[in-house]
Structure 1
């Protein structure tokens, strides 16, 4: 197994270096913020195993062997190693070395399904500094950059994520909120689903109701044209399609030319109740230099909220908005760190309701 350390100004830039040098099969061993020459930067330690000889795929047995090798190869072995490391670490997490308040906080986070890797990191921080307040240990793990006019320098904002996560509804909710708070904001709503999804019709309908501009991105030239006319808009919100199969965000962005737009931020839209394996897949599928934040939706349907902290730890991305409730109006708020911590520890939704 080959292991290497990568450093960059942002986590997305560091992930890009990992992919460029080690490829998509790289395993992330650690992801943390360090100080280099007086400046904070992201440090990622990644590892990859040498390419094994692949079986012939031109026969039925060869296809089967290749599929089994792809799914149960070194990835499974490394997963087992990580599991053994965590099994060895957990007994060392001696609760008696923590204060009663610290112990209760860790137990609560575990019930909220916070990942063991995150819990281990928090425990080590608390153990190294016995008098450390729980929130002092937690604060560096999660940041918020509220989605509102003035918080983001970029004009283009694309909403990415798996199908059914709520990309279209989040875009509409934010557009309605921005228009209500700042009526003179010149908004353009754009869809890039190629005319295949019903989200296109919903987006067009609300654009017409709100007197907003509406554009469709079906080809690379469509986005180039939108970019040319963007001077007449203050903000352009783009609804990206769900990416199926092996297609990832970077490949799709290259195909449509979004990767060349330096004035673009991509926001990953997720629900808190996906499985751990799905979240790991999303981190890999949607990693990009342009990925800027996570928007959490359907919070009123979730049973636990530990996934928010898990994703922040794994990706290094800030939370930008929190969505709740079935309605499109008054059902999303720009995120703040206090809002997220209240959600995690007090189960208080952004509108003040208590989630049972």
Structure 2
């Protein structure tokens, strides 16, 4: 076994070094904060098996066991995943000519055309077409209600103590976190709320959180290492809600990998919320689904709605992920710019271009 020590300004950077040097099979042996030339940094000790293991039965017989065959197959999934993706694309191309508008009523056809203009993707359009074709009297809204769910972000619905906000850089995680915290504090002045940052002490997001925590009488914590999060878990009984701002994950690092490194994975009192904008491309959304896949992922929050040109991606993501939408954010201000999501809000946004605040999006 080969063992090495890595140091960096924060855990994310150190973990990236480990992954680049030792690869995906590296095992993290320790993750601590140390002082180097008077500056605190993260030190990770990692190890990797330098020689592949071969079972004695395989050596003797030259044949693989069932478990080894499965393991080899799982390690070589990239090829068939790409092939299956291409096959699905070809199937959709074959189905599209069969979506005969004559099989729908004029009103249903108009709705389908509108969905296509809003950049609802082919998979969702095919599902909508099949459901409408089976019932000529069915409204498209009743079909859409089966494809998209909402769950208002509120203390009543979101009962976990820890709420971590994940998503690509620039998606609006920090401002969303502040808006939700201020909204909850306004509704319940006695609520004990803590704002926490896990960006490794870098970026303006940390300063924004600290600033609004001080102004609003909220607690503030920094999570730089795994030990910081473990300490915050120990003092969790002091708070009703803890909102955590996660960093944008670079490279091929996934949310599951990052969460395992910091001790978030498997925490029963923690859930993730994926923060996205409607104007990413379809390819990017597919990448985000892979990158931020987690059993602890509870909802999607859509931000910067006032800057979007189309809103079909909200429906596309709901169909692909099965996750409910919990909140809708719009505008640059922190007050009156976020609303707990409802289906009616989303349909008004999609068909009328009406933002939750009542303004019409041009």
Counterpart selection for 1:80 from 86, 89, 95: 86
| Aligned-residue offset at 1:129 | 2.5
Q: Equivalent residues in 2 for 1:1-356 (5 A)?
A: 74=80, 76-356=82-362
The CA deviation string for residues 124-148 of structure 1, in whole angstroms up to 9 with x for no partner, is 1111223322122111111111111
CA radius of gyration, larger in: 2
Indicate how the Cα distance of structure 1 residues 52 and 218 shifts in structure 2: closer, same or farther if over 3 A, else same: closer
**3-state SS of paired residue (2:260):** helix
| Unaligned runs of at least 5 residues, structure 1 | 1-23, 25-48, 55-69
The CA deviation string for residues 43-63 of structure 1, in whole angstroms up to 9 with x for no partner, is xxxxxx957999xxxxxxxxx
**3-state SS of paired residue (1:150):** coil
C-alpha separation between the residues in 1 aligned to 2:236 and 2:75?
48
Tell me the TM-score normalised to structure 1 length.
0.79
| 4+ runs deviating over 3 angstroms | 49-54, 73-80
Structure 1 residues 121-130 or 288-297, which shifts more?
Answer: 121-130
C-alpha separation between the residues in 2 aligned to 1:53 and 1:173?
44
CA RMSD of aligned residues (A): 1.9
Pairs aligned (count): 292
In structure 1, what is the equivalent of residue 3 of structure 2?
Answer: none
Indicate how the Cα distance of structure 1 residues 76 and 261 shifts in structure 2: closer, same or farther if over 3 A, else same: closer
C-alpha separation between the residues in 2 aligned to 1:299 and 1:216?
30
Tell me the TM-score normalised to structure 2 length.
0.78
**3-state SS of paired residue (2:265):** helix
The CA deviation string for residues 271-308 of structure 1, in whole angstroms up to 9 with x for no partner, is 00000000000000001010000000000000000000
**3-state SS of paired residue (1:236):** strand
Indicate how the Cα distance of structure 1 residues 259 and 75 shifts in structure 2: closer, same or farther if over 3 A, else same: closer
**3-state SS of paired residue (2:242):** strand
| Aligned-residue offset at 1:81 | 2.4
Indicate how the Cα distance of structure 1 residues 287 and 52 shifts in structure 2: closer, same or farther if over 3 A, else same: closer
